[in-house]
Each structure stands twice: as structure tokens, then as C-alpha cells.
């Protein structure tokens, strides 16, 4: 079964991409990625990824690996989103 994040949390990622927010992502393994939100991608296995433009180039971060998303862009529509464990579907 493929794991997905909830629709409510997905909406925050879509808004971040739509406005090109600068993000700090804390992953479940506690590693950190920073960059500009560009798009949401889906692979052949229906896994979803956030395309992040970083100083090292484009990075794909699997959505189910997210623990916390902090928005670094001033005056953003939201500041922080916490991601609980993903749901299977």
C-alpha cells in the first residue's frame, strides 16, 4: 500500500508551491533541507514528492518523510506545519 499525507496537510504544500515560499523542512530522520517550494511530483508508484530548489540544485523530498515544515518567507499565509505519521491508502 502507498502512504500519503492528509488532504489538509497537502493543501499547505500546494500553497507553499503556489507562492514559492522559502522553506525549512525537518524530516522524520531529523535531517534538514532548505529551499524554495516549486512543485509536487508523483512517481510511477504514486509516491508524492515536494520539488525544492536549493543552493545545491533541485531536490525531491518524499512527502511522507516530512516531520515539520517551517516557512521562512516573510508575511506568509502560515508559519509552520507539523506532519503526523502518514496514512496508508
| Per-residue pLDDT at 4 | 81
For the segment 54-82, the average pLDDT, to the nearest whole number, is 96
Mean pLDDT of 21-29: 97
For the beta carbon of residue 89, count every other beta carbon within 10 angstroms: 8
Pick one of 2.30.30.720, 3.10.129.10, 2.60.15.10, 3.30.70.3270 as the CATH number of 3-72. 2.30.30.720
Provide the H-helix boundaries in the chain: 7-19
Q: Is 83 helix (H, G, I), strand (E, B) or coil?
A: coil
Confidence (pTM):
0.90
pLDDT of residue 84: 87
Specify which residues 22 forms β-bridges with: 36
In this prediction, residue 80 has a pLDDT band, given cuts at 50, 70 and 90, of very high
- Do residues 23 and 36 lie in contact, with contact meaning Cβ atoms separated by under 8 Å? yes
Amino acid at each position: 500500500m502507498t502512504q500519503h499525507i492528509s488532504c489538509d496537510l497537502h493543501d499547505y504544500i500546494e500553497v507553499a508551491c503556489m507562492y514559492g515560499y522559502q522553506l525549512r523542512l525537518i524530516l522524520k530522520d531529523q535531517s534538514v533541507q532548505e529551499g524554495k517550494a516549486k512543485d509536487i511530483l508523483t512517481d510511477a508508484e504514486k509516491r508524492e514528492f515536494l520539488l525544492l530548489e536549493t543552493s545545491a540544485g533541485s531536490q525531491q523530498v518524499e512527502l511522507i518523510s516530512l516531520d515539520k515544515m517551517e516557512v521562512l518567507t516573510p508575511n506568509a499565509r502560515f508559519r509552520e506545519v507539523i506532519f503526523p505519521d502518514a496514512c496508508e491508502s
